[in-house]
Amino acid sequence: MDIRVAAYAVIIDNGSVLLSHWNQYGGSGWSMPGGGIDPGEDPADAAVREIFEETGYHAQLDGLLGVDSHVVPAAQRAIEHSNDLHAIRIVYRAHIIGGELTHELDGSSDEARWVPLDQVDRLKRVGLVDIALAMNETNNAADSSSG
C-alpha cells in the first residue's frame, strides 16, 4: 500500500472559495489548493507553499480544521498499475495576505479560481472539496457556539 500525506487550505473571501483545478494522470476536477508534503517538511509550511504554487497567492494559516484519512483502492486510482493508496489530508483554514491569482505551470493543477460558494455543487470536483468545506462549517459552528 502506498501512503500520501498532504496539506490543504480552505480560503473563503466575500462568499467565494479559492479552488485549484487538479489535472493529472488523465483525471481532473476542482480541489482545494494544497498538495503533498515533501520529506521533512512541516505540514503547515507545505500548505502555504502549495497555495502559492497553485494559485499565486501568499497565505497565512488561521488554524487546523481537521484531518481526513481514507484508502483509495488501486482500481480507482488515476495511476495505472498502482497499489492501494492511504491518503492522509491535513486541512487548514487560511486567508490571503498577498500575491496575485496565477495558474500553475508544469504542475498537477492547471487553473485557480474564486468560485461563489453557492456554485461549488455545480462543479466537477474531487471529494476533498466537500470534506474540507464541511470541516470549515463544523468549525464555524463550534466557534459561534463558544463565543
Q: Which CATH fold topology does 2-146 show?
A: Nucleoside Triphosphate Pyrophosphohydrolase (3.90.79)
Length of the chain: 147
Tell me the pLDDT tens digit for each residue of 27-39.
789 999 999 999 9
pLDDT attached to residue 131? 97
- On whether the CB atoms of residues 102 and 54 are closer than 8 A, the answer is no
pLDDT attached to residue 109? 87
Q: Which residues contact 64 (CB under 8 A, 6 or more apart)?
A: 90, 91, 92, 93
pLDDT < 50 positions in the chain: none
pLDDT attached to residue 103? 87
